[in-house]
Structure 1
Amino acid sequence: MPTETRSARVLFVTFDAGGNFPPVIALGREIASRGHRVTVLGHQQQREKVEAAGLSFVAYTDPPPWSSAQHHGMLSAILGYLKMFTTDALVDDAVSAAADQDVVVVDCMLLPVMSALTGRDVPVVALFHTFFAYLDGSFRRAIGMVSRVRGLGVRKTWRATDLRLVVSDRALDPAGGRASDPRLVWSGPAEPAARPHVPQQLPVVLASLSTTDFPGQQQTLQNILDAAADMPIRLVLTTGPAVDPGSLHPPANAEVHGFIPHRDILPTCSAVVGHGGHSTAAQALAHGLPMVVIPMHPLLDQPMVGKAVAASGAAIVLPKKASPDSIAVALTRILEDPSYTAAATVIAERLADGRGTARAADAILDQLR
């Protein structure tokens, strides 16, 4: 447990990349609930969620234009992310915002910001929002050449921070078995505690793909709806901001929403269809729910998350272009074969209490000087 005895000022430096943001809100709320002052520096479009959580918000003054909810082609998305990860445009805002803080938590993908803040008077925590194996693997290799041209070695930048904090389940993370490093810590997912199961007459299935817009996502959502049409289930599908709910055609046993808090629907569910996003997968598994995972982007963490959950026995992974028939077969299998739910229940025993958020907050506040 942290030994802090005074109110501290904690700054989170983030950006709008979809799945990297929920842990910031969860950790910010937890730290604020302990009597500390939390400020988030991010994109202007993140202000509403930050302030709704009771946290202070500061917007970047001149960031590269970017929104995770806007449509991007494959190439433009990759180039946009590379620019965001290596831009100097966020550095001055971060240095200014950090000037009066006691601890700064920086998204691990914002390399120039981390480099600029490390070595100053304030301790810096690098926040890893998904599997370390992905961020230290595919992600690091993808931006390695660009970052080296900028004089930023990825591992060197991370290791210069005071703490590398991975808000993921160490047992699922393929990197979780690495040799112990006291400055590399897995806290568990920064997600709320699972709510008690509420039995339903028909099995309820939650389907949710990314809040980030990816090519082909609308068709995949429609395929999921078509798969459910002849199944004895009730399907609840959420689109997020990336897809207009009105553009989809649900069968009689399905409902489509732009947004429903997943934690409100998961206690009624028997299974989840997702894209392998870390947050959705962690919440589903915390409730002991088996999954059909349909990754939306081959270069992001989604395929690795899906593979890890499938290796645990709790999921089936399908390609993005899977037909409605293929989705229906996979969904029927995880609903009828009890081994999938049993495997998810084993993981739920680690995650259901939601203690990952508290452990991550402890680790951050332990950096107080």
Structure 2
Amino acid sequence: MSAFLFVVPPLVGHINPTVGVAAELSARGHRVAWACPEPALVSRLAGTEAVVFPCRGITGIERPPELRGPEALKFLWERYLVPLADAMAPGVRSAAQDFRPDVVVADQQAFAGALVAERLSLPWATSATTSAEFTDAYDGMPRVADWLKERLTELRERIGDPAGTADPRFSPHLALAFSTPELVGPTAREGDAIRYVGPSIADRPAAPGFPWEWLDPGRAKVLVTLGTANADVGGRFLAECLTALRERADRVQAVLVDPGGALAATGEDKDVLILPVVPQLPLLERADAVICHAGHNTVCEALWHGVPLVVAPIRDDQPVVAAQVVDAGAGIRVRFGRVTAPRLGAALDTVLHEPAHRAAAARLRTAFRTAGGATAAAGHLEQLAAGRVPGAGL
């Protein structure tokens, strides 16, 4: 029996993919614990029996909605990722010393996990909940890549082993990418330590009360969601979606997720159901199309079910993921900030009625399920804990 410590940021999209891996390891008899600034969030997603060591986090970071590209990336690192690593490091170190893991599983954006493991000479694996870093997205921006490297070097001097050389985003022992080359594309990063395991899809606790009887079997089902972190910028886009969907009410029925209350709730409207939260995985089993922000988790969960997409990336890794969807033929991209209801409606009509997009989504569904998901990831982690290191470097 081995012990695994998952180090995650307080972000639903980064915790969810690891829940299934942790459950699989527990089912195999291993000890599992978590280190996170929001223990209640882990407990909600992984179950109340989850062992969670608290860490300090940061709060109150609001990004200007107009930031895009390199400036948005710089803001994310300077104002969130780097301060989060500094804040989490003492708690992660205490968790490692108390729990005594055989392996630390560090989220790719929870730098403290990798650097503390390095300092304590513990084997560590990367949990990459987005595939953006596994592409050539930064190849044309050498100044950006150098700036990121400088920030990581400074972090290592503060909380890691100053003599270390590994990039904390890519473990030299094992990097679990919750995607597959079929989606990432021909420039997918390769290396002895990289394992493309596909999405980790696990059952999640869901609040009761969704009106399943509301769904009309005679109309196509569309799910509209901007994820859990974009409520502050989604009002205009959701309003355009609502208009486009109501214009197609004779043939389309939609569930629109509006956590910030940007739209007036309609209750159990016969055409569009507006709710703050929905049981996403069960809905995807019934969906014919998804309109979303190209968040990696939402995209992978849709494609896991063979559902084509209309993607409207907002920031961060979303433009990269959107490009992957389009290049794979599984969806259409629209401009988040400028798209109109007619353009959205035309894109939705295309993915609903042209068979090429559905066929591409079905191919990705097969690739995802063949990759093994949580089961494959748990197996690789067991090998690392047993000293059978998958690779010596990237």
Q: TM-score, normalised by structure 2?
A: 0.79
Q: CA–CA distance in 2 between the matches of 1:274 and 1:160?
A: 31
CA–CA distance in structure 2, aligned partners of residues 328 and 142 of structure 1: 40
Q: Which residue of 1 aligns with 2:208?
A: none
Shift in Å, 1:281: 0.8
Amino acid at match of 2:122: V
Q: In 1, Cα distance between the equivalents of 2:146 and 2:289? A: 34
The structure 1 residue matched to 2:95, chosen from 83, 89, 97, is 97
Residue 223 (structure 2) pairs with residue 206 (structure 1): yes
1:158 is displaced (CA, Å) by 4.3
Structure 2: which amino acid aligns with 1:182?
Answer: D
Aligned partner of 2:199 in structure 1 is: 189
Within the candidate set 257, 261, 273, 1:238 is matched to 257
**Matched AA of 2:258:** T
Matches within 5 A, 1:307-346: 307-320=323-336, 321-346=338-363
- Contact in 2 for aligned 1:206/1:269 (Cα 8 Å): yes
What's the secondary structure of 2:359's corresponding residue?
A: helix
Report 1:24-103 matches (<5 A): 24-44=18-38, 45-50=40-45, 52=47, 54-60=49-55, 62-65=56-59, 72-74=63-65, 79=75, 81-87=77-83, 88-99=86-97, 100-103=100-103
- What is the rounded CA distance, in whole Å, between the counterparts of 1:84 and 1:217 in structure 2? 21
What is the match of residue 209 of structure 2? Answer: none
User: Which deviates the most, 84-93 or 329-338?
Assistant: 84-93
Alpha-carbon distance in structure 2 between the residues aligned to 1:50 and 1:18: 8
**1:271 positional shift:** 0.9
Alignment correspondent of 2:129: 129
| In 2, Cα distance between equivalents of 1:311 and 1:168 | 15
Question: For 1:92 and 1:170, how far apart are their aligned partners in 2?
Answer: 36
Deviations 1:178-205 (A, max 9, x none): 44x2212211111249xxxx99311111
Structure 1 counterpart of 2:257, one-letter code: T
Cα deviation for residue 210 of structure 1 reads 2.0
Percent identity for Structure 1 against Structure 2: 22
User: What is the aligned residue count?
Assistant: 350
| Per-residue deviation, residues 225-283 of structure 1 (Å, max 9, x unmatched) | 1110111200011234xx12664569751001111221111121111111111111111
Question: Within 1, Cα distance between the matches of 2:256 and 2:371?
Answer: 24
Could you give the per-residue CA deviations for residues 291-330 of structure 1, whole angstroms, max 9, x where no partner exists?
A: 1001122xx1111111111111110000012111110011
Aligned to 1:206, what secondary structure does the other structure show? strand
Alpha carbons 1:140, 1:154 under 8 Å: kept: no
Residues 351, 174 of structure 1: CA spacing in aligned structure 2 closer, same or farther, 3 A cutoff?
Answer: closer
**In 1, Cα distance between equivalents of 2:361 and 2:34:** 34
| Aligned AA (1:94) | V
User: Residues of 2 paired with 1:55 and 1:175: CA distance?
Assistant: 38
The alignment's C-alpha RMSD in Å is 3.0
2:298 matches 1:283: no
Which ranges in structure 2 are unaligned for 5 or more consecutive residues?
139-143, 158-163, 204-214, 387-394
Q: Structure 2: how far apart are the matches of 1:132 and 1:332? A: 28
Question: Structure 1 residues 235 and 142, CA, compared in 2 at 3 Å: closer, same or farther?
Answer: farther
Deviation at 1:26, TM superposition (A): 2.2
* Structure 1 position 130, deviation (Å): 1.0
Point out the more displaced range, 207-216 or 333-342. 207-216
1:120 aligns with 2:120: yes
The whole-number CA distance in structure 2 between the counterparts of 1:264 and 1:151 is: 42
Given that 1:25 and 1:53 are in contact with CA atoms closer than 8 Å, whether structure 2 keeps it comes out as no
SS of residue paired to 1:104:
strand
Q: Which residue identity does 1:190 align to in structure 2?
A: S
For the residue of structure 2 that corresponds to 1:171, the secondary structure is helix
**Structure 1 gap ranges (5+):** 1-5
- Structure 2: how far apart are the matches of 1:279 and 1:112? 22
Match of 1:295 in 2: 313
Give the 3-state SS of the residue equivalent to 2:10 in structure 1.
coil
- 1:3 is matched with none
Q: Which aligned pairs between 1:237-276 and structure 2 lie closer than 5 A?
A: 237-240=256-259, 243-244=260-261, 247=264, 252-276=270-294
In 1, Cα distance between equivalents of 2:325 and 2:221: 20
TM-score (norm: length of structure 1): 0.84
Whole-Å Cα distance in 2 between the matches of residues 154 and 331 of structure 1? 47
Shift of 1:85: 2.3
Deviations 1:37-64 (A, max 9, x none): 211111225244245264211221x322
